[in-house]
Amino acid sequence: MQYRTDGTRWIFVFYLALLLWAPVPLGSNRSWAWALLVLWVLLLALAWLAGAIRGKHSYPAVLRDAWPVLLCGLLWLGYVWLQLLPLPVWILQILSPQAAHWHIAAAAPATPRAAPLTLDRYATLEAACKSTAYLTYFALSLILLQTRSRIRLAAYVLIASGVLQALYGALVSLQSAGDVASGTFANRNHYAAYLTMCLSVGIGVLIASLSGEQNQTWRRFVHNLMQWVITPKMALRLGLVVMVIALVLTRSRMGNSSFFSSLLITGGIGLLLAKRATRSMVILLVSLIAIDVFIVGTYFGTKRVVDRIVQTSAETEDRDEVAGYAVHMWEDYPVFGSGLGSFPLVFPRYSEAGTQVAYTHAHNDYLEFGAETGVIGLSLLGLMVLTSFAAALRAQYIRRDPLMRGLSFASMMGILALMIHSSVDFNLQIPANALSFMLMLAFAWISLYHDRAGA
């Protein structure tokens, strides 16, 4: 079926505008900002549905092809909203004895007839609204990015957002000697994670633009290189350099480590799966590591990042203790969790005076989602990520379209980077990062299924 995009032009414009806006108000990590984000996404979805009902829009094939991740996402949403549903107390005592205990204690001396799985109704309602918006944005990405021009435009908008964030963060940091870069985010680590995703897309687009010639002479190579310098590709490369500078200036240990680790891993996968690795791709990957790490990084402070990693110890960090307490919390709510978003309310019972500060997040997305949603919720989220990564991996192997290969590279690198970083931070709790991550997942399925007939 031929997909019609004319009727979705303005929907697509506001879709891209949201991508640019989301990181601006402190990563949309304030009540008014995330509420605006949720409303923005739902209005876009309603606008598209209204047109689809009137026959102005058609359903793209990739929406059907991506059924595994959509199914997991819908099950996840149903599960989160189910945590808000009041259940008879005797059923709650079977499903989650600890949750039933605290609901009964809170209602004493009377015994409630019904209570939900969550221990914090408001927080779970807030998290359920966010989750609905994220999955809707993922579906809109599959629906709207159905032409090569739109795919490129969405990628360039995310790159442009990263460059603007990098310029702002780097300039503020360099003007205030000693200050770390944090852009428009409240936390430098979340800023670093956002830059990493933007860098992943930028590198993917750059790979997509490489020459596919294999046995070219060095004279021909130098000629192509000179042409490359005077084309928009050079501007893209300079944009990547600016983002790397800002990333280093964040002094984020895991932010920098996750970027370079994911680049090495994804680059190795790309070269391994390529039937014939082009000289251009090898040189690009080597230059990214050599130039960015040893030249740009040395001048702007890679040594400081390394020193911070070396100096990290149990005496200076208590995140390992927080992780231990979070594990104990999860043990009390193993299957169904304490309710998505309930961590700030429930966790103090386990940490008591064992940590130096009051933690509202576990600084580990895996443990936090596990404690809040149990094995069921964490499994559904894990399946969404794993199936998407597998789709990108398969696209990297079977697709020969340069744009699709670049897109799959960007998706794999972005997913890997955030998964590595999320082991010591709570990036997926930040709306701007979660929204951008949904685009990374969507890129995986688009790279595999877009225009398969012409591949």
CA-to-CA distance for 144 and 8, rounded, in angstroms? 7
- In this prediction, residue 218 carries a pLDDT of 57
Q: Which residue has the higher pLDDT, 379 or 216?
A: 379
Q: Looking at the 3D structure of the chain, how many domains does it have?
A: 1
The pLDDT mean for the chain works out to: 87
Q: Bigger pLDDT: 174 or 440?
A: 440
pLDDT digits (tens, 9 = 90+) for 272-330: 887 555 566 666 677 666 666 665 556 555 555 555 555 554 444 567 788 889 999 99
- Residue 439 CA, distance from chain mean position: 8
> Mean per-residue pLDDT for 126-137?
98
**Greater pLDDT, 119 or 359:** 119
Contacts of 414 (CB under 8 A, 6+ apart): 196, 197, 200, 201, 262, 437, 440, 443
User: CB atoms < 10 A from the CB of 64, how many?
Assistant: 11
**Secondary structure (3-state) at 301:** coil
Residue 111 lies in a domain: no
pLDDT of residue 228: 54
d(CA 256, CA 408): 22
In this prediction, residue 272 carries a pLDDT of 85
- Could you tell me which residues are beta bridge partners of residue 115? 87
| Buried b or exposed e, range 391-404, using 16+ CB within 10 angstroms | bbbebbeebebebb
Range of the domain at 20: 6-83+118-315+355-454
Residue 249 belongs to some domain of the structure: yes
Task: Evaluate if residue 212 carries a pLDDT over 70.
Answer: no
Residue 76 lies in a domain: yes
Residue 99 lies in a domain: no
* Residue 255 resides in a domain: yes
pLDDT at 324: 87
Q: What is the pLDDT of residue 222?
A: 60
Task: Summarize pLDDT for 18-60 with one digit per residue, the tens.
Answer: 999 999 999 999 999 999 999 999 999 999 999 998 888 888 8
Contacts with 340 (C-beta within 8 Å, 6 or more apart), sequence order: 80, 83, 118, 123, 124, 127, 128, 131, 369, 372, 373, 377
**Which one has a higher pLDDT value, 375 or 178?**
375
Kindly indicate the confidence band of residue 270, based on its pLDDT and cuts at 50, 70 and 90: confident
HSE-CB of 219 using CA atoms within 13 angstroms: 0
- pLDDT computed for residue 125 by the predictor: 97
What are the tens digits of pLDDT across the range 394-449? 999 999 899 999 999 999 999 999 999 999 999 999 999 999 999 999 999 999 99
Supply the DSSP string of 52-71, one letter for each residue.
HHTTSS---HHHHHTHHHHH
pLDDT band at 175 (very low <50, low <70, confident <90, very high): confident
| Contacts of the segment 144-147: beta carbons below 8 A, 24+ positions apart | 144/5, 144/8, 144/11, 144/12, 144/15, 144/48, 145/442, 145/446, 146/3, 146/5, 146/60, 146/62, 146/450, 147/3, 147/5
Sole residue written with tokens 């688009």: 446
| pLDDT for 234 | 79
Query: Do 413 and 203 meet the contact criterion of CB atoms below 8 Å apart?
Result: yes
Q: Give the residue, 199 or 309, on which the prediction is more confident.
A: 199
H or E element, residue 225: helix 218-229
pLDDT at 215 over 50: no
Q: What is the 3-state secondary structure (H, E, C) of 389-440?
A: HHHHHHHHHHCCCHHHHHHHHHHHHHHHHHHHHCCCCCHHHCHHHHHHHHHH
**What percent of the chain is predicted at pLDDT more than 90?**
63
Q: Using CA of residue 19, residue 420, residue 169, residue 242, what is the dihedral sign?
A: negative
Residue 234: burial class (beta carbons within 10 Å; 0-12, 13-18, 19+): exposed
Domain presence at residue 334: no
Extract the tokens encoding 53. 């009902």
Query: How confident is the model at residue 260, as a pLDDT?
Result: 87
**Would residue 272 count as lying in a domain?**
yes
Contact in structure between 389 and 412 (CB atoms under 8 Å): yes
Give the residue among 382, 388, 393 at the shortest CA–CA distance from 428.
Answer: 382
Q: Is the pLDDT of residue 453 over 50?
A: no
**114-115 vs 87-88, strand pairing mode:** antiparallel
Position 405 scores a pLDDT of 92
Residue 132 included in any domain: yes
Instruction: Identify the pLDDT of residue 67.
Output: 95
| pLDDT tier, 354 (very low <50, low <70, confident <90, very high otherwise) | low
